[in-house]
Amino acid sequence: MSAPVKNHSDDHVKLSELASTAIAGNDILSSCLYVSGIAILFAGAYAPFVFFAIVMVLFFYKHVYTEVVEALPLNGGAYNCLLNATSKSPAAIAGAMTILSYVATSVISAKTASEYLHTVLSGVPVIPLTAAIIIFFAILTISGVKDSAKVAQVIFGVHLLTMFLFISLGVIAIINHGWGLIPENFAATTTLFQQQGALKLLFFAFAASLLGVSGFESSANFVEEQQPGVFRKTLRNMLMGVWFFNPLITFVVLASLSLPAIAGSKDFVLAEAANILGGKGLQYLIVIDAFLVLSGAVLASFVGATGLLYRMTLDHCLPSSILLPKLKSRNQNANRIIIAFALLCLSILAMTGGKLLALAGVYTISFLGVMTFFAIGNLILRETRPDLKRTYRGPLIYVILAALATIGGIVGNILIDPKNVLYFAIYFVPAVFITQSMIYRDYILEAVLKYSKRIPWLNRQMGEWLNHVIEPRIILFAHHPQKLYESLEYIRKNETSRRITVVFCQKDVEVAKKWTKTFSEYVTFFKEAKVFKKLNIDLNIESDLSFGPEVVKAYSSRYRVPRNNIFIGSVHEKHEFTFEDLGGVRIIQ
């Protein structure tokens, strides 16, 4: 399924609670296949209690995400949050980090799925199968909403049933045969804590186990494709899934395997435990389920990444001429974006040769960074957009605790393996360079134009490209002249477009008469004083219209300006419409 793909045949399609939960849930609930072993490596027999701490982190982030995404229900997650709370540059950094998270998730999930299958079908080549999984889900994503959502639901259903069976057999074994290896594992854990320090190991267990929350952010990146009210339910469902499955699965593993056995099979620990509980039949079932649900996590990556890449391309943080070649005609087919993401995943798979230690570092820091950005964005949004219309306001302490938890997770994972920072930087720095170059490409082109005068063909080409970049129009709806300078300064710093149409809507005759004169004086002064010497500013007064969805739609159609190039102050509680009703405009005040 492609979150942003909106071909005419799919315009009516909106994802239900089950479909949305399945797409995001395949990502986060697939973590139980590997995160249990990781947690036990550090926390030993106390690993189930570590997962309750992880659940508390998700509980805090549930409030963070609900507040922001329901107030700004656009694809993009942390990118969308920071874009409307701050400016384009920090938003693009968060977007680049999110893209890296999705690339790493896709490749690691596909590779791990292939390795699980390889344990029972040794003749299957791992790397070619990994590439085949990525290509398959690229094709499935291109096929559209309905097909990929159905596949996700089937995978999700199989995974839930398999995990229920695994837990049930584990509980039955404990009832029939006692606590199994749990007493032995507790004794070994006590020795381990005495040797290396309990607090240190529990902190490392917490940091490493935050891998189990990867995927919680996915739903925010395809919120536009969900039915009204579904987003909040997907967060609740994912939270309940992690709360129920991860501690219980870890408990069953501890009852079935010794700590040395768990350490030796940490990447496929559930398959080993299944062999103890139910023999080869259950082991094969776990392997098949692992292959399916990890493949489903690849689908979740395509869904989230496509929604984000589409949004960032519309906002000119990525080259639209390559990814959306018919942007001017508002062709919303995102096939090129899907193909580009698949090629990026395949290229990284080829460059690493399947040795994914480097990507594991990228994976850990990037998705924890994305969640931290979201919490920070929530705090900034409260400060910079206090009057923004919201359906929910989360407790401030929850937002702070959420940010501190994931920052702690980043620090912990760096302490566990300092090389993670290096691996992350290798991929993150080029991604940031590309997005920032796109944001400031008008300045880059102007510099090249200035110094290429002796090379006529290059100078001419640079001039054409610069005109192409600065020519698009931005429509600014201003409600008060005192904020006009601040709004234009935002555009000057963040946008390459230099044609600005300021629109003032006011049906109240007295107010309209008063502010119309002031707006005209301000615009005239800005032009004559060359305050914004690179901006071409014109003013439209709408004395018969009130600001709202209809006037936004009218101006978008009149000037053929996409909604993401329409800027507004904010949407307040007094307004009868919501931010969603405006169709994707940007809040800049």
pLDDT above 90 covers what percent of the chain?
A: 51
Whether the predicted pLDDT of 246 surpasses 60: yes
- In whole angstroms, give the CA distance from residue 472 to residue 459: 21
Asked if the model's pLDDT at residue 3 lies above 50, the reply is no
Per the DSSP assignment, residues forming a β-bridge with 55 are none
> pLDDT-derived band of residue 307, with 50, 70 and 90 as boundaries?
confident
**Alpha carbon of 247 to those of 30, 123, 306: distances in Å?**
14, 34, 32
Average the pLDDT over each of 127-131, 444-448, 507-511, 574-578 and give the range with the smallest value.
507-511
**Cα angle: 313, vertex 315, 319; to 5 degrees:** 40
Task: Kindly list the structural domains of the chain, giving each domain's residue range(s) and its CATH number in brackets, ordered by start.
Answer: 8-438 (1.20.1740.10), 440-469 (no CATH), 472-587 (3.40.50.620)
Average pLDDT over residues 222-251: 92
Mean pLDDT of 81-108: 90
Rounded CA gap, 441 and 469, in Å? 8
pLDDT tens, residue by residue, 432-478: 999 999 999 999 999 999 899 889 899 999 999 999 899 999 999 99
- The per-residue pLDDT for range 40-70, each reduced to its tens digit, is 989 999 999 999 999 999 999 999 999 999 9
pLDDT in tens, 377-435: 999 999 988 888 888 999 999 999 999 999 999 999 899 888 888 888 888 899 899 99
pLDDT at 10: 41
pLDDT confidence tier of residue 191, bands split at 50, 70 and 90: very high
Reported confidence tier of residue 492, pLDDT bands at 50, 70, 90 = very high
Tokens 């870890």 label which residue?
A: 250
> What b/e readout covers 465-497, taking b as 16+ CB neighbours within 10 angstroms?
bbeebbebbbbbbbbebeebeebbebbeebbbb
Give me the chain's average pLDDT, please.
87
pLDDT confidence band for 330 (50 / 70 / 90): very low
Helix ranges (H only) for 32-144 are 32-43, 47-71, 78-85, 88-118, 126-143
Q: Of 297-311, 318-332, 356-370, 553-567, which gets the smallest average pLDDT?
A: 318-332
Confidence (pLDDT) at 214? 80
pLDDT bucket at 544, cuts 50 / 70 / 90: confident
pTM: 0.86
**What's the pLDDT at 8?**
37
pLDDT of residue 352: 75
pLDDT of residue 503: 94
Q: Encoding tokens for residue 219? A: 């739903």
